[in-house]
Amino acid sequence: MSDPEARLALSKLIAGRMTELDIDRAAFMKFTGFTTDSSFGSYLAGFSKLHLWQVPLAAKILQLDERQLLLMCLEQNHDDWCMELFRRHIRVRARRRAPAPDQA
């Protein structure tokens, strides 16, 4: 089942970020794989969803955290129980540092 509130929250974030960064609509559509203006308009109105494969592309062009965008994308289709499970397992991990040259 699809959650209209989650779809709208994500589409508003994307539209707002496009405005904030002055990203051209056509450029965004081309970069993220929207093939027609009507499909993108439908997405912005909350009638369709952002697909998982579009998450890394949208995060890159909008300069957003990919994990945050992924969770918002998952929220479009999953209930609270599933989302809690995802949040427990999709979290920021500390990056391992390479050893200093004198310690290697």
Domains and their CATH numbers in the chain:
4-89 (1.10.260)
pLDDT at 89 over 90: no
Q: What mean pLDDT value characterizes the chain?
A: 88
In the prediction, which pLDDT does 32 show?
95
Quick one: pLDDT band at residue 30, thresholds 50, 70, 90? very high
**pLDDT value for 97:** 57
Query: pTM (2 decimals)?
Result: 0.79
Spatial contact of 74 and 50, defined as CB atoms under 8 Å apart: no
Short-list 57, 63, 68, CA closest to 90: 68
